[in-house]
Structure 1
Amino acid sequence: MSRTVLVTGGTSGIGRAIAELFAADGDEVVLTGRRPDAVERTAAELSARGVVCDATDPGQVAELADLLPEVHVLVNAAGGLPAPAGADLPRLHAVSADWQANLAQNLLSAVLTTTAVRPALAPGGSVISIGSLGAERRGGAYGASKAALAAWNAALSAELGPLGITSNVIAAGYVEGTEFFRGALTPERRAALIAETHTNRPGTPADIARTAHFLASLGARHITGQTLHVNGGAHTTR
């Protein structure tokens, strides 16, 4: 049976790869993004439904939820590394702006979207949020926002579990083919990130997409409240 799959931040990188995989599986995919041209183009390319929505804006998120009477899979892929605050700001103002931007993009976006569509989440459904290895080390404001995402997910899982809905975080390591570094990644830094892995390769958006697809499958119905690390061994657990 075809499912309705909502993917925020679905116009590029990891979000697009996830939307593409679910669409290829025959699901009805609704993808969102902030740029109308990117939303329209990506939706047409993937045979999906595109909705322009800034996941940090409560009003826009509420309007998105009104369009969706039932959601079987929610993927909170919107987020990323915000541009630094202006250098002309006083130091503490710049710090405040950076932290608020990171929390808004990487935590509040998921909280707002999930809260808005929660009445539409179908029993047997899944909520999947994209976290980061940065939550474990050297993450700064970005890492802290992703760590908060994982903490929120644990509480969300307890709330949704009795309804038959799972909730998990995929903590991605270094993934190529995204706009995360905005062209600022040096060859030396790239080599160092790959050297941290056990697999000696960068991650790909497809790696994360396949993990998300599994978490929404029948084989993962007893996996919830978890942070799954997909990083080639750059961060190990036991």
Structure 2
Amino acid sequence: MEQRRTAVVSGGGTGIGRAVAAELAGRGYRVAIVGRRAEVLAKAAAEIGGDVVPVTADLTVAAEVAAAGEAIAALGPVDVLVNNAGAVITPPADASLEALAEAWRRDLDTNLLSAVLLTGALADRLRRPGGRVILISSAAAQRGGAGPHSAGSYAAAKAALHGWGFGLARQFGPEGITVNILAPGYVESTEIFGSGWTPEFHADKIAATLVGRAGTPEDVAAAVAYLASPEAGYVTGQVIGVNGGAVLGR
């Protein structure tokens, strides 16, 4: 009898993470969705259906990540780990160095440290051979943010995922585990691109693509499903853009 496959998706309660969890659950995975908000995770698990397990943890706090790792260990070996948790931290209202440092630390913790800690907690539990680690970055990592007082810290944190991910690919490759990075562009129906943006902003983002439309969380989920599959076993250490051509490959 074939053993049940297990996937872990951080930030799995909303947006891209929720779509990824739904895609993998639909493909027969048991999916652990990890995040800070228990009620959001519970709602997502109920709506997705199947075997979806909510695991509540602040992924920037080492003790909470360790506890989450123990809870996930009870599900068996981890076949797929999707480090999706992240957010754009609101720039500080004042221009003091103290406020700037705090905003940058929060962006780095939320977008980089969260992935580092969860991967560290689950590293020994990844299936060998055949495990998959997928990091959700951003097109901002490739084209840069708008400056030190806006999205610069978000772009820098996401770019740091790339260098770290390349090292992971080298580390895990001999054990039969692949590591890849997805860099989505403008994706509607997410908390990052929420209701606070103007119609002009949305129009500009769509105009920047080559396909003339916004991305969807399901577009990213489909790319994750491929990278998680056995067919992607020869793909590792890559940055793959899911951006409608807004940022060309290089």
Q: TM-score range by the shorter chain?
A: over 0.9
TM-score, normalized by length of structure 2? 0.91
- Letter in structure 2 aligned against 1:13: G
What is the match of residue 81 of structure 1?
A: 88
2:141 equivalent in structure 1: 135
Task: Report the Cα offset of residue 182 of structure 1.
Answer: 3.9
Q: Secondary structure at the match of 1:167?
A: strand
Aligned to 2:182: 170
* Structure 1 position 106 matched with structure 2 position 111: yes
Question: Where does the alignment leave 5 or more consecutive residues of structure 2 unmatched?
Answer: 146-151
State the percentage of identical aligned residues. Answer: 45
**Cα contact 2:187–2:193 (8 A) shared by 1:** no
- Greater strand percent: which structure? 1
Runs of 4+ in 1 over 6 A off after TM superposition: none
Matched, 1:44 2:46: yes
CA contact (8 A) 1:72 1:126 kept: yes
Measure the CA separation in 2 of the matches of 1:145 and 1:6. 21
CA RMSD across the alignment: 1.2
Question: Do 1:4 and 1:73's aligned partners in 2 also have CA atoms closer than 8 Å?
Answer: yes
Q: Is the 8 A contact 1:171 1:227 kept in 2?
A: yes
Q: How big is the shift at 1:90?
A: 6.1
Cα distance between partner residues in 2 of 1:141 and 1:57: 20
What 5-or-longer segments of structure 1 have no aligned partner? none
8 Å CA contact 1:68, 1:120 repeated in 2: no
Separation of aligned partners in 2, 1:184 and 1:40: 26
Q: 1:42 corresponds to which letter in structure 2? A: A
Q: Which amino acid aligns with 1:52?
A: T
The number of residue pairs the alignment matches comes to 236
Match of 1:126 in 2: 132
What is the correspondence of 1:2-13 to structure 2 with a 5 Å cutoff?
Answer: 2-13=4-15
Asked whether the equivalents of residues 32 and 39 of structure 1 are also in contact (C-alpha less than 8 Å), the reply is yes
SS of 2:136 mapped into structure 1:
strand
TM-score (norm 1): 0.96
Displacement of 1:183: 2.2
Matched residue, 1:206: 218
| Partner Cα separation in structure 2 for residue 53 and residue 229 of structure 1 | 29
Displacement after TM superposition at 1:94 (Å): 1.2
